[in-house]
Structure 1
Amino acid sequence: MKRPFGHAEGAGAAKLPVVIEARDTGSRETPGRGRGRDFWPDDDKPGRRLSSPKLLFGAAAALVAVVVAVVAVMLLTGGGTKEQAAPREVLPTAYTPDYNGEGFRSISERSADGRVITEGEAFSAKSLKSTGYSFSLAASDLSSDCKAATWGARLQGDLAKFGCNQIVRSAYVSADKKHVGHFVVINLSGVEGVKQILRDLDPRTKAGWPTLLKAPGVPATGAGFSAAYARTYGHYAVLTLVERAGGAQPASLNEMIDVSLVIENAADFLYGRLDLASTGTPGQ
């Protein structure tokens, strides 16, 4: 099922500052839909820029000073061998929600799919592969405490209001350690709750987000550019947040779209629940 790239639901929603929307502009993982707009501002596109000799000399001098300072700190603190901790409050740079939920309407309410998610289901995808990408599961958590797995009072309030009883969180790292993908499933009482949570997750609202797990062996997510995609799977909200390891800006959003589609394959277990519901055996 391919991801549509639409705008947030509701014509009456409050107008908010412009945020980058992660749109398809010819991704190799999705059918082409026209070129679309380049998401980089004209004065901030990736590429080489030439600087004057004076600026280069000044930058070099500043770099030497920074290196000296870093060496001094390492000598005084014992080398700084501890792995960087994951920042708690991470918001994506780009965000695209899909409120449609096409194909999952038969489990739009938890009453049609009452069995809780098991660890065997949630973490069955130990590896994820697609053209040009290979990811392995690096960290995972299944919690019934939706408040503890998230940050932000507004988001936490809506999670309680709409019956959140489970949050699945996984972190995947690519074989070449160049990309990190976070996968989240939020189990809510019904589809209306899912739509509200997807609105809360818009970074412009600053309502909160799930706390991302730290994947061993790569920098913690949150220091740079990241792109998130949120989809409606019946009474489940499914989120992917992807980035180049360390947060470097990609050449285009197509790269982020391709990576996110690989990570979203971790949601395949929800299709099994859909099949059970369609046969009238929700597995209470």
Structure 2
Amino acid sequence: MTVTRGSTRTRKRRRTPPPDWNLPVLTDWGLKPEQQRLLVIIASVAGVLIAAVALTAAVAALGADAPDQSRQAAAPVSGELRPERFEGWASPKVFEPIAERAKDAKPLTEKELFAQKRLVGEHKISLKLTEKTLDTDCSAALWGEQLLSQVGDAGCTQAARAAYTSTDGRYLTQFTLLNLNDSKVAGELVESLKSLHRGGWVRPVTAFPPNAHTEGGAYALGHYVALVWLSRTDGAEPEQGDDFSNLALTVRGAEKPLYKRVVALTGTS
């Protein structure tokens, strides 16, 4: 019996032919295939490096333009609440004895300012003290670049703030008192606030309703300036029966400690 052995074929893997580095342009320049290959590799590496540098520069530029979060937190928030109506008054003659802080050098105290827990006015208006604070850094109580600059130039050393709510729950008020150098800078601040209040005002110690209608006033009192801020607790505009003038007079009862200082200096009531 004859056995026929089939022929065994050896399969060989085909190698990928090397790339043809005979690029027409480079060949015209007289470059050999090896030289062309080297030039292409160098160009590729250079392209990657250039892209990396460009990306780094772009990231750095974005970082430089990005807002500083700490500065954003310290800056006043856009759309900060301020009075829609405002009036200002010069200092009455009764406060001439305390026209200069040099003659009234004793700092204000919380006990002195906030001893009266309830302020009572006409037409049965009664305001209850709900929040209070006394700062030696006046910038803690105010916002607005120009306002802060003027108050700083006026030598503000204290800013007292007190919030009062009417006992019937209808009104929210705030009284702020600034301790300045003298009556001259106090009068100048009140005059400036007639327009300046649109870009700088008091920081609330109790939140007013969002987008509330508020009214404000500034009063020079010797070397002090009092800032009054009024609103309905629902934030609505005043209606018939809402007497904001009497409300302002009532919260100004918080000025009583200044009258006591006048009496202490002059010996007369």
Asked if TM exceeds 0.5, the reply is: yes
Amino acid at match of 1:94: R
Please give the secondary structure, in 2, of the residue aligned with 1:97.
Answer: strand
Could you say if the C-alpha distance between residues 236 and 253 of structure 1 is closer, same or farther in structure 2, counting changes exceeding 3 Å?
farther
Q: 1:170 aligns with which of 162, 171, 182?
A: 162
Measure the CA separation in 2 of the matches of 1:260 and 1:169: 15
Shift of 1:101: 2.5
Please give the secondary structure, in 1, of the residue aligned with 2:226.
Answer: strand
1:97 is aligned to 2:88: yes
Could you say if the C-alpha distance between residues 150 and 204 of structure 1 is closer, same or farther in structure 2, counting changes exceeding 3 Å?
closer
Q: Taking structure 2 as the reference length, what is the TM-score of the superposition?
A: 0.66
Counterpart position of 1:230: 218
Structure that is richer in helix per residue: 2
Shift of 1:88: 8.3
Amino acid at match of 2:239: A
Measure the CA separation in 2 of the matches of 1:261 and 1:140: 19
The 5-angstrom pairing of residues 1-284 of structure 1 reads: 89-131=80-122, 132-203=124-195, 206-214=198-206, 220-221=208-209, 223-251=211-239, 255-279=243-267
Measure the CA separation in 1 of the matches of 2:161 and 2:197: 22
Shift of 1:225: 1.5
Measure the CA separation in 2 of the matches of 1:173 and 1:133: 10
Measure the CA separation in 1 of the matches of 2:189 and 2:127: 27
- Residues 232-275 of structure 1 show CA distances to partners (whole Å, capped at 9, x for unaligned) of 11000012111111221112697100111111001101111111
RCO (CA 8 Å, sep 6+): is it higher in 1 or 2? Answer: 1
Measure the CA separation in 2 of the matches of 1:110 and 1:141: 21
Shift of 1:196: 2.2
Amino acid at match of 1:130: G
Q: Is the 8 A contact 1:168 1:186 kept in 2?
A: yes
RMSD over aligned Cα, in angstroms?
2.3
Could you say if the C-alpha distance between residues 275 and 126 of structure 1 is closer, same or farther in structure 2, counting changes exceeding 3 Å?
same
Measure the CA separation in 2 of the matches of 1:221 and 1:185: 22
Measure the CA separation in 1 of the matches of 2:175 and 2:131: 10
- Stretches of structure 2 lacking an aligned partner (at least 5 in a row): 1-76
Greater C-alpha Rg = 2
